[in-house]
A = this chain, B = another copy of it.
Amino acid sequence: MPATAGSIPNASPVDDGEGRQQRAIDTRRSILNHAALLFASSGYDGCSTRDIAAAAKVSHANIRYHFGDKETLWRSVIEFLISEEYEANELLTQLDTSDTPTEIFRQHTRNAISAVAKRPQLQRILHLERLLGNSRFADVETIARDIDEERVGHIEMMQRAGTVNPDVDPAFLNEFIAGGLLQRFVLEPIEDDDERERMVDAFTDLVVRLVQTP
């Protein structure tokens, strides 16, 4: 008889009158958040659903209840992080009020770098699974390629506008920048806000300097 369940009460069963729907949404979110952190630091196979459950202070069976299986959870995490990044970008682009082409390029570059530096989880996860070539997640390739293509398109645009040295191959240049970004901000994320912003500035400077027409 496996019926001793409930001897340990829920995390906060009755507490606030949140309504059960909202509470379910909250636990879903909490699971997604902790899963994102663990997937980003240990990789898909590097952490168990039990690890995630413990971090989110939830029974591991509850993860199964909300997300079905581990792979679905992973996909949900990716969606969650993408929507998060999308919202952050929405906010950032509103601040862009510069006008000279070089300044627009600098702003755009800075925004992209800053967003990644502040919340590197998505990049880390994509990079990791791509590196490990988990054939389960063919989508990763697609997502990563989409991001790349958008960036390459942007560089080409800047080349036509005369802001970027027209002699360099846009794809190579993009890999250069993406690689540097990875090394500096994704591999070991910078926690301190001030230090990170300083690094973002320095990095943006280097990109602009290297890329500008002489």
Say yes or no: is A143 at the interface (Cβ < 8 Å to chain B): no
Interface residues of A in 1-39 (CB under 8 A from B): none
Set B131, B169, B184, B202: member contacting A124, Cβ < 8 A: B131
Interface residues of A in 32-73 (CB under 8 A from B): 41-43, 45-46
Say yes or no: is A167 at the interface (Cβ < 8 Å to chain B): yes
Q: Are B167 and A209 in contact (CB under 8 A)?
A: yes
User: In the docked arrangement, what's the CA distance between A124 and B133, Å?
Assistant: 12
For A184, list chain B residues within 8 Å (CB): 172, 175, 179
Q: Are B187 and A183 in contact (CB under 8 A)?
A: no
For A161, list chain B residues within 8 Å (CB): none
Q: Are B176 and A180 in contact (CB under 8 A)?
A: yes
1/0 per position for A166-186, CB-CB distance to B under 8 A?
Answer: 011100110111111111100
Copies of this chain present: 2
Q: How many residues of A contact B (CB 8 A)?
A: 34
Say yes or no: is A210 at the interface (Cβ < 8 Å to chain B): yes
For A181, list chain B residues within 8 Å (CB): 179
Tell whether A132 pairs with B172 under 8 Å between CB atoms, given A179-B181, A179-B182: no
Q: Are B206 and A169 in contact (CB under 8 A)?
A: yes
1/0 per position for A113-129, CB-CB distance to B under 8 A?
Answer: 00000000000100110
Minimal beta-carbon separation of A199 from chain B (angstroms) = 9
Say yes or no: is A108 at the interface (Cβ < 8 Å to chain B): no
- Contact residues of A with B, CB < 8 Å? 41-43, 45-46, 124, 127-128, 130-133, 167-169, 172-173, 175-184, 187, 202-203, 206, 209-210, 214
Additional A-B contact list (11), CB under 8 Å, known A168-B210, A179-B179, A179-B180: A41-B132, A124-B131, A128-B131, A128-B132, A131-B187, A167-B209, A175-B183, A176-B180, A179-B181, A179-B182, A182-B182
